[in-house]
Amino acid sequence: MVEHVETNSVATGSGTNASTTTTNGSPTSPAASTKTFSTHPHLFLVHSSPNFQSKMTATTHFTPNTVLLSFADTMTPVPKPSYTTVQISTTEHIELNSNLVYLNHSCDPSCVIDTVKKEVRVVREVREGEELTFFYPSSEWDMDQAFDCWCGSEKCLKRIQGAKYLTVDQLQHHYLNNHIIELITASLHGLPR
């Protein structure tokens, strides 16, 4: 059974947020601004706002190499990439069909998406309340929607379009999935991709 928790954070006059739970997910006040929900509240919460900014935060302390979630049973193949898909081979993309779609990008990520094991793993210590993120070019060769990165990391690459647009030097300190390594190798040797 999947546990689902949904709350709404409501701005109050004092500048603080009051959090209220609803059974149908509807706002408890016209001032409701952020929805918080999770299929796995013992692991993470998703914070979603009306302006399409969302993030996933840890609800517990994680140590490196902890498996956050498997997506082997929830993923479905799709015919073409979109902003919500994950590339799992040189030619295949999937929808995660889970709250994992809320993992944001960071140039200094806390997680990796392992497309061989079909799991998300924590790669460094993560404290309760910290955002869970991954490095999008670790699985994406040529992204459907490029964007300017605001991760704030000293390692920030500024523009994220996929591994195809980064140098080997920019990629070498990141976890990369096998299909990205194959595509980099092919690119360096002038082979068709």
With contact defined as beta carbons under 8 Å apart, do 115 and 127 qualify?
A: no
Q: Which two tokens stand for residue 155?
A: 């390692």
For residue 38, tell me if it sits in a domain: no
What's the total number of domains in the chain?
1
Q: Identify whether 125 is part of a domain.
A: yes
| In a domain? residue 142 | yes
Beta bridge partners of 8: 20, 35
Nearest of 171, 176, 134, 163 to residue 151 by alpha carbon: 134
User: CB–CB of 40/3 below 8 Å?
Assistant: yes
In a domain, 12, yes or no: no
Phi/psi of residue 83, each to 5°? -65, -15
Task: Write the CATH number for 164.
Answer: 2.170.270
Residue 174 phi/psi, 5° resolution? -110, 150
Structure tokens belonging to residue 187: 């690119």
Query: Which pLDDT does position 138 carry in this prediction?
Result: 98
The pLDDT tens digits along the chain (193 residues) read 333 333 333 222 223 333 333 333 333 333 357 789 998 999 999 998 887 789 999 999 999 999 999 999 999 999 999 999 999 999 999 999 999 999 999 999 999 999 999 999 999 999 999 999 999 999 999 999 999 999 999 999 999 999 999 999 999 999 999 999 999 999 988 765 5
Cα–Cα distances in Å, from 49 out to 37, 87, 91, 151? 11, 26, 33, 18
135 closest CA partner among 99, 190, 172, 82: 172
For residue 3, the model assigns a pLDDT of: 38
Residue-number span of the structural domain to which 85 is assigned: 62-188
The answer to whether residue 25 is domain-embedded is no
pLDDT score of 4: 38
Does some domain include residue 31?
no
Does a structural domain hold residue 24?
no
Would you say residue 119 lies in a domain?
yes
Q: Are 49 and 102 in contact (CB under 8 A)?
A: no
